Structure 1
Amino acid sequence: MITAHIQAWIAENGAFATGLQLLQQVDKAAFFRLKKHLQAAIITPAMKQELRQALEKTLKSAASTPQNTATEPAEIARLRQQARGYLKQQAELKARLRLMYDDDKLYTDEDRFAVAEELVEQVTPALDTIYSRIREWQATGMLPVQSMQEVVTETVAKYKQILSLTPRISRLQKWLKEGQRPTSKGTEKITPAIQLEIETELQEKLQQLQSLQQELGLDA
């Protein structure tokens, strides 16, 4: 269980890289904020403390989350599960976009546009639709029923997301294979910190692709 690993890391004052890997699994936004420290010549006590506080925050959040004993209809539970996935994706995209603007020399306009487009045109509308259906159920007690047009629109959106994920996954895999990636100034060698960043994004994109393919019945 990830909580036990975090508690052990804190108790043993574990290595910074190990703690960062744990943070990557529980708080992507904090991970993207702190991973820049991997490029430092030496990990200072302040950097270590910042990581410790981020991990401790996730433990407090897990401990304080109330257990929902109320039984909701399966359809509403499914919508909430979908929303959690999109909220996680939203936080990751926002964190990545901030990183791209902080290190503007390392990223092209195409990189930033791709992330912004995914956030604005895919994730945000999906969340709006989900919460609209949940609010409808809360207000009327009637389970939301998708119209044929809504089903078509949602299906088209999922296919579009697959079409945007596939070339991005190919580029990430190519950069890892070649050991370099394009920047606004040309190309740069992939350092361990950059490799971790690329591998993290690649893993997220592959998971998203697999989930979409399953929803559309394309994983057979």
Structure 2
Amino acid sequence: MTSIFRTVMGADFDRLHPRLQRRFSVGLTSGEACTGRGVMHRIWHGGAFVKPFLALGATRNILVPRTGRNIPFTIENVPYTDSFGRETVTFVRTFDLPGRARRFDAQMVLSPEGDRILDYLGTHQHLASDLHFHAEPDGSLLIRSGEHRFREGVVDVRVPELIGATAEVRESYDDTTDRFRVQVRVVNKYFGPLFGYEGTFTATYPDIRTCGVRPGLRPVREESRA
């Protein structure tokens, strides 16, 4: 067995910068988690019309309703087996904004077909998105979201393009500063840029047999539908 990210990328995984290969090898097989600590040099969002949607999402740890510069942050990538027996890796980002920290939670699972990553968002996993991973010529990693779905009880619907958005994540490693770089943009097809951030961080790799999954890191509700 191997990490869910190596599985979905196949031979393309070997084109990543070695530090990115290490970071995205976290999983139950490696026995390692990854904790990144650094600074978001900029957190931004679109026009005023975006604020109510960001505020609503923030109630379930989806997106961040505030802007800021030079904000300390932590990202926790911890593998565990969810209640449906699937290997899962947390992507929990905590932004230490003045007055109140904000979280952006996601849990990543390999799709049943093994051709994409399923990204479950928020504390209750009401939103799910397909993620596609690609190694760029410079060794950086590009992640693009695909279809979004909303699940609550018997409701299982595709999110229309009018109110949905596409996320693009770029991660790279800067050898001159010995830091990871990350840039995220969330864009609506009709309304333009909605939300994003960019920053740098360093990483450590705790042994999951020692650190485990700390309380509050797993979602309140888990969704089985892919």
- TM norm. shorter chain > 0.5: no
What TM bracket, shorter-length normalisation? under 0.3
Which structure: greater strand fraction? 2
TM-score after normalising by structure 1: 0.23
TM-score after normalising by structure 2: 0.23
Whichever of the two has the greater Rg, that structure is 1
